[in-house]
Chain A
């Protein structure tokens, strides 16, 4: 047995752990193809009826569109803000750099729930209506630290030199940023866009508290959960999972290719 992995107990533990990790996922996906009313054994099928039912569910389809809109637009804003911040911090170290980094990273240490409640109360007092736009703002708040950190970590000293070279050759600040720095940073910009789009796509509590009519898909799925176990929820969950995985997978591949090139 020693060829692949050196000890039998280690192999056994690895298999057991993977079994534990995959058990609920497999059950979720398999029983989304159930040909029956309950997503529990025995498995009859496979059938696509629950996917058909899901796409016939107008509220769900509407929420799917809302989710995509929020994910794409909030990820776009997050990536632009994160890129500018990373550039500003890396190009020349500003005064109070430590303090600025602390503020930018601070939202990471606060629960989404608390961020959501804070925004809810503030919007309520200021008179901003609950809406998809409010949800998007919340998603930018939670994803900005991650995007900033990802992009900032990719800014090396070589970029500082390239930036100076571009300036010395007469490029303006904006030209340098758009035509020199951004193209070099494209892989990490793309990765941070994908990551924040995925996190927004999957986020529940902010979307739940800050939207009223134009709800996102996780909120609608949450409402569906009250009906108990049904293969339709399995189908919806499987689709959300699949889309997240594809997005993250693309981001990971772009990052890996970039990593390989630079080595």
Chain B
């Protein structure tokens, strides 16, 4: 193949991207791991090589709590989003007539592109004390006093669920339309009831779409700072908020590194637990 002597451009075309990723993604992660063993002494980063930061993190209840809060909120978000998104994707794939499917699908995921910083705020407009929901319910005489819905864990989860329902609908739908109709027909011909067809054929075959969507949900959700910051309560913090506090208020990079690495380890753990269902190339 090497017809041309000298520098072979095509052979090296992938190098700039590779080098860029290594320098601006790999290197910073490696730096973070190194810095997590350093200490901040009199406000200066000092190379110390100790596990002190890790001990401090796992020794402080409120930091470990932040990690658990994050995991709980993320798991709840993922579960609720799947429960809401699955029927929606199913209806889109099997109940909406084919020529309408594209349109309804686009309609369903359009608000995906609402400005990220404003997405949580727009839920405040709905659920805050003088928000539209409270005003409407008071108007209709359903309640005497406005309900306190905003600034709570429930509000954070609501904000998350709204976003990730759209994402999961997309991944599950993409999976459902790939399942050959003949499988379901064959099962029905062999005497399976509609419920059996769903439970034995459609559901098992759609697990990859659910798994990919759930994994993306988990990764984005557990690392999100804005949603809990705007919708969440003052009484608890999630891990990303705790990390931001270390960075912005204390400028404590070693501690922020420890916490970021912990977050990453959780994600990697989840990846390996779900790896056999994840076929990223297909979505």
Contacts and interface: CB of A to CB of B under 8 A. Distances in A.
Interface of A: 4-7, 10, 13-14, 17-18, 20-25, 27-28, 31, 38-41, 81-82, 84-89, 91-92, 94, 100, 103-107, 109-115, 117-122, 124-125, 137-138, 140-141, 144, 148, 163, 167, 173-174, 177, 198, 202-205, 209, 218, 221-222, 225, 229, 233-234, 236-237, 240-241, 244-245, 248, 252
Interface string B200-223: 000000000000000000011011
Nearest to A223: B117
Interface residues of B, number: 86
Nearest to B267: A109
Given A23-B126, A113-B223, A237-B122, A41 B13 contact: no
A205 B220 CA distance: 12
Interface in B7-29: 8-18, 20-22, 24-29
Max chain A CB contacts within 10 Å: which of B15, B91, B107, B118?
A: B118
B202 to A, nearest CB: 15
Interface stretch (B172-180, B181-189, B257-265): B257-265
Contacts of A229: 124-125, 128, 130
Contact of B260 (A22, A118, A203): A118
A39 B24 contact: no
A211 B257 CA distance: 19
Given A40-B130, A114-B260, 12 more contacts: A20-B162, A21-B165, A24-B162, A25-B114, A27-B122, A91-B13, A103-B21, A103-B26, A104-B14, A109-B271, A121-B256, A222-B226
B258 to A, nearest CB: 11
23 contacts: A4-B100, A7-B95, A21-B166, A24-B162, A38-B130, A87-B10, A87-B13, A88-B10, A91-B13, A100-B18, A106-B26, A107-B25, A111-B264, A117-B247, A118-B29, A119-B28, A121-B256, A198-B113, A204-B226, A209-B247, A237-B118, A240-B115, A241-B113
Interface in B39-81: 45
A14 B165 contact: no
B104 to A, nearest CB: 7
B14 A28 contact: no
B14 A88 contact: yes
A222 B117 contact: yes
B115 A85 contact: no
B108 A18 contact: yes
A152 B243 CA distance: 35
Contact of A5 (B21, B96, B131, B268): B96
B160 interface: no
B21 A107 contact: yes
Nearest to B115: A240
Chain A, interface SS category: helix
A236 B17 contact: no
Nearest to A43: B132
Max chain A CB contacts within 10 Å: which of B3, B13, B84?
A: B13
B10 A122 contact: no
B97 interface: yes
B114 A237 contact: yes
B14 to A, nearest CB: 3
A182 B257 CA distance: 41
A225 B117 contact: yes
Nearest to A24: B122
A211 to B, nearest CB: 13
A85 B28 contact: no
B260 A25 contact: no
Given A17-B84, A103-B22, A237-B121, A27 B162 contact: no
